[in-house]
Amino acid sequence: MFDLIIKNATLPDETSRADIACVDGHIAAIEPHIAAQAQEVVEADGYLVSPPFVDPHFHMDATLSLGQPRMNVSGTLLEGIALWGELKPIQSVDDIITRALRYCDLAVSMGLGAIRSHVDVCDDDLKGVQALLEVKKQVAPYLDLQLVAFPQDGVLRDPTAMQNLLRALDMGVDIVGGIPHFERTMADGAESVRQLCEIAAERGLMVDMHCDESDDPLSRHIETLAFETRRLGLQGRVTGSHLTSMHSMDNYYVSKLIPLMVEAGVHAIPNPLINIMLQGRHDTYPKRRGQTRVPQLRDAGITVGFGSDCVMDPWYSLGRADMLDVAAMGLHVGQLSSRADMAWCFDAVTANSAAIMGLEGYGIAKGNKANMVLLQAQDKIEAIRLRAHRLAVIRAGRVIARNAPVVTDLMLPGRPPHVNAASYAPKPAKT
């Protein structure tokens, strides 16, 4: 007797259909026809079953705070940071917990199974840290939440940021963050990278820095991040988030830089929705796109995962926890239009991001965790094209969210049968 069987699912490799049986929170069998009984059966009807979406870059302490205490009028990164500075002193730990839990519910309903959230430590009360550690505990049964100690105002620029960051790590925050391009000088930025990587090395932690989120081609902190990663033996544990300055860098310099990143095993997390919204703001025309060099990084062998970064907060007033929106934007901005490239964009919001986060037992394979999402799409590309409906979200072998199928005649060849276009045709003029 199994706990759950998903019948007739298209597997992520898209070459075969199978039944997936789950027991004790794990995938017990993947076979063409499983005849055994199960407590619960989900009919996939040939639709795609994917491992859950993974968001490797988010700000859960700020999410759903849109309009508090005011809107970001210029729409820029810097006004967003200033606005967040106005909200921090007037929000409570409970405010942050309420918003974050609401977001987690939304995220799970959209098929997200894991989120890496930065949490601002530039607050002497560490309200965000207190709140998100509590949220992490509460959501653990249904959502993996990793927390990054993020010194939003600069770990060297803000007088108490370093001690607060260390306190946050002592309290149980998982990962060391940073923001070298926001320090006062390039030299301070490089020094911040050195100090933060040393903290990670001493404590055996991962590193994930907001790195070069700028249109300045001379913002080269990723070079220092790769150098320190290698010097301290942190290969495979370090991520550069955003890396937007790379969009504007000199090609010759990039031809030297990317091999250094490969050598250091540094991962990359572009955030397509936010990067296309915030970068190029000082340009007239032509306007730069700002997204880092996704195909070049990928082709060099760097693990690239797409993050969503923000949903309804001081930096971004849209968003709905839909990683397929993120994949679609990354696809368009990166001009990743071949069939293989489009399918890769789906991997960038699933398997690649899971690898960056170091998630164990991830993926549709026997013995792995029975965490899945059933999408109303026939393959990865169709999932992105349609922002596919989530028919069922499965965690530890139990259905935790379910939606009825929607009418999606866009999937079928021929004309949608429920549209009578002829009735809208212009009537012949009366003579």
List interacting residues with Zn ion (CB under 5 A).
309
Please say which residue, 111 or 177, places its beta carbon nearer to Zn ion. Answer: 177
CB of 329 to Zn ion, least distance (A): 15
Q: Minimal CA–CA distance to 168: which of 61, 328, 56, 325?
A: 61
Amino acid identity of 422? A
Contact 208, 241 (CB under 8 A): yes
Residue with the closest Cβ to Zn ion? 309
CB of 150 to Zn ion, least distance (A): 8
Please say which residue, 9 or 274, places its beta carbon nearer to Zn ion. Answer: 274
Please say which residue, 51 or 319, places its beta carbon nearer to Zn ion. Answer: 319
Please say which residue, 309 or 347, places its beta carbon nearer to Zn ion. Answer: 309
Please say which residue, 174 or 309, places its beta carbon nearer to Zn ion. Answer: 309
CB hemisphere CA count around 253 (13 angstroms)? 12
* 213 in catalytic set: yes
Residue with tokens 């796109």: 289
Cis before 69? omega within 30:
yes
Output the CA–CA distances (angstroms, integers) from residue 253 to 83, 356, 430, in the order listed: 35, 26, 70
Residue with tokens 């026997």: 366
CB of 302 to Zn ion, least distance (A): 19
Q: Tokens standing for 280?
A: 């190029």
Find the distance separating the first CA and the last CA of the chain, reported in whole Å. Answer: 74
Q: Report the C-alpha gap between 309 and 304 in whole angstroms.
A: 15
CB of 118 to Zn ion, least distance (A): 6
Residue in 213, 223, 228, 382 annotated catalytic = 213
CB of 7 to Zn ion, least distance (A): 40
Output the CA–CA distances (angstroms, integers) from residue 307 to 91, 178, 240, 243, in the order listed: 26, 17, 12, 12
Please say which residue, 309 or 382, places its beta carbon nearer to Zn ion. Answer: 309
Q: Report the C-alpha gap between 150 and 365 in whole angstroms.
A: 34
CB of 213 to Zn ion, least distance (A): 8
Q: Report the C-alpha gap between 122 and 285 in whole angstroms.
A: 36
Please say which residue, 57 or 395, places its beta carbon nearer to Zn ion. Answer: 57
CB hemisphere CA count around 393 (13 angstroms)? 21
CB atoms within 10 A of CB 376: 22
The C-alpha angle 29, 30, 32, rounded to 5 degrees, equals 125
| Residues written for the chain | 431
Q: Tokens standing for 2?
A: 């199994």
Number of H helices, E strands in the chain: 14, 15
Three-state DSSP class for residue 399: strand
CB of 274 to Zn ion, least distance (A): 7
Give catalytic residue positions: 213
